[in-house]
Chain A
Amino acid sequence: MSVRHALLALLSEGPKYGLQLREEFEARTGEVWPLNVGQVYTTLQRLERDGLVEALGEAGADDEGGPQKAYRITVAGSEELTHWLRVPPDLTSPPRDELVMKVLVSVRVPGTDVHEVIQVHRRYLVQLMQEWTRLKEEEADADLAFALVVDAELFRLDSVVRWLDAAEGRLRRAEADGWPPPRKLPVSMPVLQRRRRIGAS
């Protein structure tokens, strides 16, 4: 989550104070990602250092009686924002996904039923989805930003459930074909050999 660019986006509408930025950030993201005011000021200072925003001078006091500054976006800031919106996030290399690891590992741990492991995770994910769906049912109509965030989360969790379904189907087909074959070599041998080959090249 780029707080930096979210603040630039809010400032693209006009000059704003730090506290105001925090409130608007939380409102625009459906209040799913809370932000403390310290984070806002630290980020503003860095943006100012990089020439992407500029302070408009002191004008009033915040809740704790500290000075409050208003900020406005610079031309360089607007350019940076326009650029950032169109740069795809880096999705080229697969993330080291903990759930994928657990399923891969459970296939190799003697005495472990991989289907049972898959079901534990599937149930957990569906329960989470039930909670998000409840939230959507109760609140999403009132708040577009919130509905967008909830949809994103539901599709993300759904994709994980689908992967578990596909993994289970693949394992069942492999089992029907006689997998796993009886093994005599230590389990880790093929992995080690492959890594050595990759390292040697």
Chain B
Amino acid sequence: MSVLELRSISKVYGRGAAEVQALRDVSMTVEAGSMVAVMGPSGSGKSSLLTIAGTLEEPTSGAVLVSGQDVARMSGGAKARLRRRTVGYVFQDFNLLPGLTAAENVSLPLELDGMSARRAHLAGLAALEDLGLADHAWRFPDQLSGGERQRVAIARAVVGERKLLLADEPSGALDSANGEAVMRLIHAYCKQGTAAVVVTHDAQLASWADRVVFLRDGRVVDQTVPPAGPESLLEQPS
């Protein structure tokens, strides 16, 4: 079963002369363990697609299914639980809370979900340790480098075994070494069974994905076919 399924999603903002059609009849599925990149220029509808996939916004028409469940049929409470437990977000500007330490930033979603502070704290520390940030757990975001902040944000997005990771230009604010490290981490989580959607205009980031979907003017215009395998690159034409 796919973790995320978008069925004929359209999204219109505004009315009359100010009407903007952000998405037009977009369908896609993301299986567990796979990473899909959505590539397109600014204004192509990438961010709308992500906020709708993450149930932060409702489509004008079409259906969003997360783990086979139609989001439109869920109660407000169920949707909020889905956002806390199943979906993790990574943003370009990290979105960490400045008054909380790295560990507190990571454990907060678990506490909000009703986990005891102690258990949430231990889970947060474990997630930071996985990302090589155990020594930074007590630091505040402004005491961390950009790359470290984004790793904390990833820890926050994956803590509690979430099934779907949604990332909006996750390494857009980082240099190429840190950007690569972030993509490596996201891809590693996917290999462990998480599904991920990364929206980006950057081909180097997109090339980490198993599949790249191209968005233009709110429409899916194309997608990559699965690679033949890296060995083909090293076969020399005879």
A154 with B214: in contact, given A127-B225, A131-B233, A165-B41 (CB under 8 Å)?
Answer: no
B212, A135: Cβ atoms under 8 Å?
no
Assembly CA distance A177 to B216 (angstroms): 19
Return the CB mask of A75-104 against B: 1 if under 8 Å, else 0.
000000000000000000000000000000
**Given A31-B234, A119-B214, A122-B214, also A134-B227 (CB < 8 A):** yes
Considering the complex, which residues of chain B in the window 19-53 have a beta carbon less than 8 Å from any beta carbon of chain A? Answer: 39, 41
User: A154: nearest residue on chain B (CB-CB)?
Assistant: B204
Is B209 part of the binding interface, using a Cβ–Cβ cutoff of 8 Å? Answer: yes
Chain B residue numbers with a CB within 8 Å of A130 are 207-209, 212, 224, 227
Q: How far is the CB of A63 from chain B (nearest CB, A)?
A: 21
Asked if A32 CB lies within 8 Å of chain B CBs, one says yes
Q: Which of B224, B228, B229, B230 contacts A126 (CB 8 A)?
A: B224
Complexed CA–CA distance, A161 and B203 (Å): 7
B41 proximity list for chain A (CB < 8 A): 165, 168-169
Is B236 close to A, CB under 8 A? yes
Residue of A132, A137, A155 most packed against chain B (CB within 10 A): A137
* Interface residues contributed by chain A, number (CB under 8 Å): 29
- B18 contacts the other chain (CB 8 A): no
Task: Look across to chain B and name the residue whose beta carbon is closest to the beta carbon of A138.
Answer: B230
Q: Is B184's beta carbon under 8 Å from chain A?
A: yes
Please indicate the chain B residues that have their CB under 8 angstroms from the CB of A133 in the complex: 204, 207-208
A126-B203, A154-B204 known; A135-B221 Cβ under 8 A? no
Asked if A135 contacts B206 (CB within 8 A), the reply is no
Is the CB–CB distance between B234 and A129 below 8 Å? Answer: no
**Does B135 make an interface contact (CB < 8 A)?**
no
Q: Which residues of A contact B229 (CB under 8 A)?
A: 131, 134
B149 contacts the other chain (CB 8 A): no
A161-177 CB contact bits vs B (8 Å, 1 = yes)? 11001001100000000
Name the A residues within 8 Å of B228 (CB-CB). 131
By a beta-carbon cutoff of 8 Å, the part of chain B in contact with chain A is: 39, 41, 184, 187, 201-204, 206-209, 212, 214, 216, 221-225, 227-230, 232-234, 236
User: What are 23 of the A-B contact pairs (CB < 8 Å)?
Assistant: A31-B234, A119-B216, A122-B222, A123-B212, A123-B222, A123-B223, A126-B203, A126-B212, A127-B225, A127-B227, A129-B203, A129-B204, A129-B207, A130-B207, A130-B212, A130-B224, A131-B227, A131-B228, A131-B229, A131-B232, A133-B208, A134-B227, A137-B187
